[in-house]
Structure 1
């Protein structure tokens, strides 16, 4: 698994160097048979572009906010609390 830092993701829609670097890392990872996780996806435009590029998994505020372990377990193991957006597993791009 290869993780691309949020600093590159943040600038990829406005900075050609960041965009080229992200596209190149994605292409290289796929050619080597690795999966990717993209960190810091906070805008729909980022998610859409990364999806077109073939990214499998993303992390970021667009997909959910951090939660404490108890809330996560309750949301995913059938506890009494209803899942919140933050605990929903929406990291797949």
Structure 2
């Protein structure tokens, strides 16, 4: 929005910031319609997150480990021993 306030075009903002043109248009439209409150994050449609943030972080950390850092050498063993602690049961 600061670039727009300085008089830059939507196309120039998109190009300089590495954004899609439609994204810049959407945000400029929200700001024009509702001001700063229009830029607040909105609820997203779709299925809610399945994992708690801590669980997602643990899974990502495990996926980023090098094979030598894992406890098991067999891919089957890794799957069998993962996760180290049981995940909570969702109802």
TM-score class normalised by the smaller sequence:
under 0.3
Structure holding more strand per residue: 1
Q: Calculate the TM-score normalised by the size of structure 2.
A: 0.22
- Where relative contact order (Cα < 8 A, 6+ residues apart) is larger, the structure is 1
| TM-score where L is the length of structure 1 | 0.22
More helix by share: 2
